[in-house]
Amino acid sequence: MVLRGGGCGNVASLPDLAYRTEAYQQHGESVSSSTAEKRLVDLKAEFPWLKDVSSVILQQTLRDQKSAFDNFFNPKLRARYPRFKRKGGRQSIRLTKAAFRYREGEITLAKSKVPLPIRWSRPLPCEPSSITISQDRAGRYFISCLCEFAPNALPITPRMVGIDLGLTDLFITSDGAKSGNSHHLKRYEAKLAYLQRRLAKKRKGSNNRNKLRRKVARLHVKIADSRRDAIHKATRTLINENQVLCIESLNITGMVKNRHLAKAISDAGWGEFVRQLEYKAAWAGRQVVKVNQWFPSSKLCHGCGHKVDKLPLSQRHWHCKGCGEPIDRDINAAKNIRTAGLAGLACGATGAGAAA
């Protein structure tokens, strides 16, 4: 068997993943679910700390692991071989209802008498059906709860907007609004580079190295937080103000492979922007229409339809040869995306690939 890299598994699955791998490599056996569960009983005898948590969590881990292996053996999915979690990476456990108790806004884990000291970001709409407790790389703990609720649709508005995602500005709308881009990463980049240089010089396993590693992790977290926060505010405003939001479907994975753009694109957070826009639209009863990414939104003059053959990325403004009007690259693109999206909507097409 060829071992490939990948990420899945769980803290508690560590001994078991090794067991499965060994069974396969040495005896060519695949471990069945029932064997894995029997093995879990042995493990509990061997490692008493496994009994500190509810057995539900361990069984959930086994189920997660099984689906990871099922994915791996499914040739259609091309999934990677399940891999151990890094000790310093993000850790998480998922708990179903039997493993926790929810009462009057407090969550108590099974086998524990005291409720978790949670600082809630918002009240829960109902009793959660499952919760996930995670620890990020900076050592902070989070709890996310799965709740069912009926979202409140926003009152319908006649406004429809086209959105072009950019680098100088995170987004530009067909109304001519430019978001600006706070360049969080850029601002912290120098500091991050400095810390990482220092980190590289520290001896592995030393206390100073660990302290510095935490510091780097905290900076990463700070950057990610402020970026996400800015995107939340932007998508909230767009959803509140518009009924239909037309946007280019982006092949972000492909774009990030372009080394010159990769960092700027990851920094801008296009993927997160689209994700937030889509779920907020679904909650608010708004519609996100995706326009085919090969649609030449930048090269087409929105006024007269004249198309320029070549348009270097650096050229932000020009005069259209068809109608002579001055063109702002991004606003023009957003207007074209709006037109294409609405045309697609009129034909009944939605989602990716609409209105090319």
Active site positions, annotated: 164, 248, 330
β-bridge mates for residue 131, sequence order: 95, 145
Using CA atoms, how far apart are residues 100 and 94, in angstroms rounded to an integer?
A: 11
Answer yes or no whether residue 301 interacts with Zn ion by CB under 5 A: yes
Stretch that binds Zn ion, among 11-19, 178-186, 221-229, 323-331 (CB under 5 A): 323-331
Please provide the DSSP assignment of 299-353 as one string.
Answer: TB-TTT--B-S---TT--EEE-TTT--EEEHHHHHHHHHHHHHHHHHHTT--STT
Answer yes or no whether residue 303 interacts with Zn ion by CB under 5 A: yes
Amino acid sitting at position 8: C
Q: Which is nearer to Zn ion, 44 or 306 (CB)?
A: 306
Query: Which residues does 111 contact at the CB level (< 8 Å), separation at least 6?
Result: 52, 53, 54
Stretch that binds Zn ion, among 63-71, 179-187, 277-285, 320-328 (CB under 5 A): 320-328
Q: How far is the CB of 308 from Zn ion (least distance, A)?
A: 10
Q: How far is the CB of 318 from Zn ion (least distance, A)?
A: 10
Q: Which is nearer to Zn ion, 271 or 303 (CB)?
A: 303
Q: How far is the CB of 340 from Zn ion (least distance, A)?
A: 16
Q: How far is the CB of 301 from Zn ion (least distance, A)?
A: 3
Q: Which is nearer to Zn ion, 159 or 321 (CB)?
A: 321
Q: How far is the CB of 315 from Zn ion (least distance, A)?
A: 15
Q: Which is nearer to Zn ion, 223 or 301 (CB)?
A: 301
Question: Applying CB under 5 A, which of residues 40, 170, 244, 320 lies at the interface with Zn ion?
Answer: 320
Stretch that binds Zn ion, among 54-62, 151-159, 288-296, 318-326 (CB under 5 A): 318-326
β-bridge mates for residue 162, sequence order: 246
Residues 184/178, Cβ–Cβ less than 8 Å: no
Q: Which is nearer to Zn ion, 18 or 304 (CB)?
A: 304
Q: How far is the CB of 336 from Zn ion (least distance, A)?
A: 12
| Helix 14-27 / helix 55-73 crossing angle, nearest 10 deg | 40
Answer yes or no whether residue 304 interacts with Zn ion by CB under 5 A: yes
Answer yes or no whether residue 323 interacts with Zn ion by CB under 5 A: yes
C-alpha of 153 from chain center: 24
Neighbours of 38 (CB within 10 A): 12
Size of the site for Zn ion (CB under 5 A): 7
Q: Is 236 buried (19+), middle (13-18) or exposed (0-12) by CB count in 10 A? A: middle
Question: Applying CB under 5 A, which of residues 322, 347, 351, 356 lies at the interface with Zn ion?
Answer: 322
| CB-based contacts of 76-79 (< 8 A; 24+ apart in sequence) | 79/6
Question: Applying CB under 5 A, which of residues 209, 213, 228, 306 lies at the interface with Zn ion?
Answer: 306
Task: Report which of 335, 327, 303, 353 is spatially closest to residue 164, judged by C-alpha positions.
Answer: 335
- Site residues, Zn ion (CB under 5 A): 301, 303-304, 306, 320, 322-323
